[in-house]
Amino acid sequence: MLVKTSSATEARKTTRWVVIVGLSGIVTILALTGFWLLWTLPDGNAFNARVEQIFVQNDAMTSQGQVKLLEILAQSGTAFSDTLASYRAVIFVLLLMAAALLLAAVAFLSFLLVLNRRVAQIETTGIQVSSLLISRAENLVILNNMEFQLTQAAIETISVLAEARMDGEMLNGAELESVIAGRPLADCDEAAGATRIKRLRDSLGNQMISTLLIKNVARRGYVLAIDKNVIEMI
C-alpha cells in the first residue's frame, strides 16, 4: 500500500510559492488598474486650454458681461483642474487600501494552508510531539502538555533513547542495555534491551491511552473521551 507523505519542508515550499505568486499577481493587477485609471482621466489643463482658446477666438468681446462670462469660464477651468487632482489622490489612496487588504488576504490564506497541512499531518500521525521534557529527579515525563509518571527503569530507558536521538544515533537492544546497566556490550543481551523497551511502551502507552482516549470518571465508570459523532462501527 502506498502512503502519501508531506514533510514540513515541502509544506513551507508550497506555501512560499503560493504567497509569491499571489503577491506578484496582486501587485501586477493593482499597478495595471491604477495606471489605466490615471491614464483615462482627462488632463486637468484641458479645460483651461479650451477657455484660453475661447479668449483668443473672441477677443472682440469687450462688454462687461462678456468679460465676466469669460472670467467665470476661467475660474471653472481652475476648479475642474483641482477636482481632477483630488480625484487622482483619492484613487491612489483607494489603490493603497485595496493592496493592503489583498495582501492581508494572501497572508491569511497562506496561514490557513499551513494550518490545514499541520492538521492533516496530526490526523495522519495521531499525535504530534512538539515538546518532550524528562525529569529524572521526579521520574516524570511531560509530553506536550501531558504529564506521565514512570518508574525509575522506564525513565532511564527513555532518557537514553532521548540522548541517542539528540546525537542522531540509533541503539539496538544490546547497546541500550549496555548504556543503562553500565556493562560491556559483549556481556549484554538483545532481549534485555527489548524487554526494557516493552516495559516503557506498556507504562507510557497505558497512561497515554488513559489521558487521551479512555477516561475513568470517579464513582461513575469509564468513558471514551472523544466526540460520539466520530465513532463508526462496521
Alpha helices, H only, the chain: 8-40, 46-57, 64-125, 152-166, 173-181, 190-212
The whole-angstrom separation of Cα 110 and Cα 17 is 10
114 plus 20 within the same structural domain: yes
For residues 106 and 23, is the Cβ–Cβ distance under 8 A?
yes
Q: Which residue has the cell 536521538?
A: 165
What confidence score (pLDDT) does residue 129 get? 77
Q: Which secondary-structure segment (H or E) carries 129?
A: none
196 plus 97 within the same structural domain: no
The answer to whether residue 233 is domain-embedded is: no
The cell for 37 is: 485609471
82 plus 40 within the same structural domain: yes
Neighbours of 145 (CB within 10 A): 7
List the beta bridge partners of residue 197.
Answer: none
What confidence score (pLDDT) does residue 58 get? 66
Q: What is the pTM of this model?
A: 0.48
The gap between the terminal CA atoms of the chain, to the nearest Å, is 22
Q: Which amino acid is at 199?
A: R
The answer to whether residue 234 is domain-embedded is: no
What confidence score (pLDDT) does residue 17 get? 75
Cα angle, residue 197 at apex, residues 160 and 136 outer, rounded to 5°: 40
CATH number of domain containing 151: 1.10.10
Q: Which amino acid is at 148?
A: F
How many domains does the chain divide into? 2
119 plus 142 within the same structural domain: no
For residues 173 and 189, is the Cβ–Cβ distance under 8 A?
yes
Cα Rg, the chain, nearest whole Å: 38
DSSP character string of 28-58: HHHHHHHHHHHHHSPPTTHHHHHHHHHHHHT
24 plus 115 within the same structural domain: yes
What confidence score (pLDDT) does residue 73 get? 67
162 plus 63 within the same structural domain: no
DSSP character string of 79-90: HHHHHHHHHHHH
**Residue 35 exposure: Cα atoms within 13 Å on the Cβ side:** 6
What confidence score (pLDDT) does residue 234 get? 73
What confidence score (pLDDT) does residue 10 get? 61
Neighbours of 81 (CB within 10 A): 17
Could you tell me which residues come within 8 angstroms of residue 161 by beta carbon, excluding any fewer than 6 positions away? 171, 176
The cell for 38 is: 490615471
27 plus 69 within the same structural domain: yes
36 plus 106 within the same structural domain: yes
**DSSP 3-state of 223:** strand
184 plus 219 within the same structural domain: yes
Residue-wise pLDDT for 216-230, tens only, equals: 777 788 787 777 777
Task: Tell me which residue range forms the domain holding 170.
Answer: 132-228
167 plus 101 within the same structural domain: no
What confidence score (pLDDT) does residue 45 get? 65
108 plus 149 within the same structural domain: no
139 plus 118 within the same structural domain: no
**pLDDT digit string (tens) for the chain, length 234 residues:** 333 344 555 655 666 676 677 777 777 887 787 777 767 766 666 666 676 676 666 666 566 766 676 667 666 666 766 777 777 778 778 878 887 887 788 778 778 877 777 777 666 656 677 788 999 889 999 988 888 899 999 999 999 999 998 988 888 989 999 999 888 988 888 999 899 999 999 988 888 888 777 777 777 887 877 777 777 777
